[in-house]
Amino acid sequence: MTLELTDKLWEQNPDALIAISPEGNILHWNPAAEAIFGYPQDEALGKSILDLVVPKDCIEEEKQIQTEALRRDLTVYESVRRRKDGTLVHVSVSTKAVRDAQGNLEYFLSNKKDVTHLKVLRDAKLVEARFHDLLESTPDAIVMVNVTGRIVLVNSQAEKMFGHQRAELLGQPVEFLLPVRFHTAHLAHRSGFFEQPRTRTMGAGLELYGLRKGGTEFPVEISLSPLKTEEGTMVMSAIRDITDRKKADQKFKDLLESAPDAMVIVDRNGEIVLVNSQAVQLFGWSREELLGQKIEILVPERFRSKHLGHRTGFFEQPRTRAMGAGLELYGLRKDSTEFPVEISLSPLETEEGLFVSSAIRDVTERKRIEQTLRDKNIELENAAMAKDRFFASMSHELRTPLNAIIGFTGTLLMQLPGPLNAEQNKQLLIIQKGARHLLSLINDMLDLAKLGANKLELKLETIDCNTVLEDVAASLQPDADRKGLHFTVDLPSRPVMLRTDRRALNQIIINLIGNALKFTEHGSVCLRLEERTTPEGKVLAFSVEDTGPGIAPQEQGRLFEAFSRVDAADRRKLEGTGLGLHLSRKLAEQLGGKITFQSEYGVGSTFTLELPQE
């Protein structure tokens, strides 16, 4: 055998040929080794074979192979080795200890044959025989892989889900069923799983996708279970297409987003599983920061321990209700500021168990408005009190100087200091009249002001209206006599009892008769009391009829306005304050009644006070 041929054999050997020094360093590395393990020759030479291609859990095994080879000069072994990209490869290893003439170990020569595919076929045969019937009967798609990540079994649900025939899948790396963007991460996760195999859900909290033949993706949920066999550990993945659920979830999320309030959904452990953008905005945490956190992150420190208890209580007796009825609730923002909230809780039954949905409303603005209203009320009460004091002071201050004016005008007119001549007497009478008018004005204004401030207190008592009217008529009779008017009183023959305020009734009747007497120059004034039945019920009608000038149609509209005395051109006839009818109407309203009038210009007027009989 020439050297040339030897080289060629070395170069062309379909299996990896590796020479390893007694210390375990790589001395030779043929092209097939490069093809199988992914390391070019210059990267491999001089490296420790253990570091380069032997997985952690196979190191002991590799050492044994060498010991065995030393003892027997040749061993044949099947095992798993690691590629440069981290994936595993099944190899059949033949190792020979090569010795020099003296019989000392010169190097190991290791021939490694890639038997991954053969292994897959063997594994497939094994699991197929053992698990086929069982796996066909489950509703989920099942994909089983061996330690090299190769698919060794699929059930028909998986064929249907991924759109591939069984033959197309067997022996493929499982990444074949994933979108390309997940390949690298999946490789790492896969070797991680084999290091600590236990049944669990894949990628908790992550969105997982499967890849169908033809390139379309679909959302999946995957649970992983290790399966120990005599051919090594396999992994069974049960895969569920959750496209429909995602759609439902999406609808649910859309619904949450459309809610006016911040919505936070928590699970039984009080962990946040879903929030809407309103919640993100309200609390200042991002969605990612909130998901998975305990709900107490949104509760001020001092309420947290109590909240925990309430939360547990709610899960024990879940029903839709407002949180903490009657309590002041506060939310906590990321920046540690607090704000008042109102929260309503609803249990949410799902396939994955019981959740609680809380709708949270920031009531800062409402609280502010309520506070403003309270402040305003206090302010108004203060203002009302100030107004009362003002009325009292005004009354006092206006009356005090009038005391001197009216008093000394009186002493002069009484001629206490000495006799008066006719002109002095006349002028003093004018002063006296003016002063008395001013006093009436003050009294009426104060009454009006009290009415306006709703400060008039009615003293209700049962009175005989006939008696009241007779008294009023008697007190005004002298005024009628002075003007030569015929004053008549027409009352029912029996007592007419009414529960009302005597003073207010008096004031109204005096005002109405006073007006009639004031404006009537000739003829008569008649005061009448009748019981009438109106659409509103039985009423007492107190009417005052005169033969005065009547009220011009254009004046009638504003008759009851303050200071709207009619016939303003005829100033010299003006008496009274201009407040009488205005005040009377207000008083009548206080008594639950009203004042109406009928008037014919030039013929006379009738003013009627109607008070309800209970």
Indicate the residue among 348 and 406 with the shorter CB distance to another protein: 406
Q: Establish if 397 lies at the interface with another protein (CB under 8 A).
A: yes
Indicate the residue among 87 and 395 with the shorter CB distance to another protein: 395
CB of 440 to another protein, least distance (A): 12
CA distance 540 to 464: 12
Indicate the residue among 400 and 533 with the shorter CB distance to another protein: 400
Q: Establish if 292 lies at the interface with another protein (CB under 8 A).
A: no
Residues 449, 391 contacting (CB under 8 angstroms): yes
Indicate the residue among 273 and 420 with the shorter CB distance to another protein: 420
Q: Of the candidates 12, 312, 403, 424, which one interacts with another protein according to CB under 8 A?
A: 403
Phi/psi of residue 390, nearest 5 degrees: -65, -45
Cα angle, residue 432 at apex, residues 428 and 437 outer, rounded to 5°: 150
Residue 506: enclosing H or E segment and its boundaries?
A: helix 502-519
Q: Is 385 exposed, middle or buried (0-12, 13-18, 19+ CB in 10 A)?
A: exposed
Q: Establish if 440 lies at the interface with another protein (CB under 8 A).
A: no
User: Near another protein by CB under 8 A, which window of 320-328, 366-374, 378-386, 403-411?
Assistant: 403-411
**Residues of this chain, 407-436, that bind another protein according to CB under 8 A:** 407-408, 410-411, 414, 416, 435
Q: Establish if 441 lies at the interface with another protein (CB under 8 A).
A: no
Nearest to 56 by CA among 36, 86, 29, 78: 86
Q: Of the candidates 198, 228, 319, 396, which one interacts with another protein according to CB under 8 A?
A: 396
CB of 461 to another protein, least distance (A): 15
CA distance 530 to 468: 14
CB of 415 to another protein, least distance (A): 11
Indicate the residue among 23 and 397 with the shorter CB distance to another protein: 397
Q: Establish if 454 lies at the interface with another protein (CB under 8 A).
A: no
DSSP bridge pairs for 577: none
Phi/psi of residue 218, nearest 5 degrees: -150, 145
CB of 408 to another protein, least distance (A): 6
Q: Establish if 437 lies at the interface with another protein (CB under 8 A).
A: no
CB of 604 to another protein, least distance (A): 35
Q: Establish if 406 lies at the interface with another protein (CB under 8 A).
A: yes
User: Near another protein by CB under 8 A, which window of 88-96, 274-282, 406-414, 508-516?
Assistant: 406-414
Indicate the residue among 396 and 572 with the shorter CB distance to another protein: 396
Indicate the residue among 9 and 385 with the shorter CB distance to another protein: 385
CB of 444 to another protein, least distance (A): 13
**Contacts (Cβ under 8 Å, ≥6 apart) of 567:** 549, 552, 555, 573
Indicate the residue among 327 and 414 with the shorter CB distance to another protein: 414
Q: Establish if 400 lies at the interface with another protein (CB under 8 A).
A: yes
CA distance 542 to 468: 11
Residues 597, 608 contacting (CB under 8 angstroms): yes
The size of the chain, in residues, is 614
Residues 577, 437 contacting (CB under 8 angstroms): yes
Q: Establish if 439 lies at the interface with another protein (CB under 8 A).
A: yes
Residue 469: enclosing H or E segment and its boundaries?
A: helix 465-483
Left, alpha or beta for 474 (phi > 0: left; psi -120 to 50: alpha)?
A: alpha
Give the number of residues in contact with another protein, rule: CB under 8 A: 25
CB of 390 to another protein, least distance (A): 12
CB of 469 to another protein, least distance (A): 23
CB of 406 to another protein, least distance (A): 4
Phi/psi of residue 396, nearest 5 degrees: -60, -50
Query: 282 is written with which tokens?
Result: 């309200």
**Residues of this chain, 456-475, that bind another protein according to CB under 8 A:** 457
Query: 102 is written with which tokens?
Result: 């003296």
Calculate the alpha carbon distances from 323 to 41, 336, 347, 357 in Å. Answer: 71, 22, 13, 12
Nearest to 457 by CA among 510, 502, 394, 506: 502
Q: Of the candidates 172, 223, 225, 395, which one interacts with another protein according to CB under 8 A?
A: 395
Indicate the residue among 158 and 579 with the shorter CB distance to another protein: 579
Sequential DSSP letters for 392-455? HHHHHHHHHHHHHHHHHHHHHHTTSSS---HHHHHHHHHHHHHHHHHHHHHHHHHHHHHHHTT-
CA distance 7 to 12: 8
Q: Which residues would be at the binding site for another protein (CB under 8 A)? A: 391-392, 395-408, 410-411, 414, 416, 435, 439, 443, 446, 457
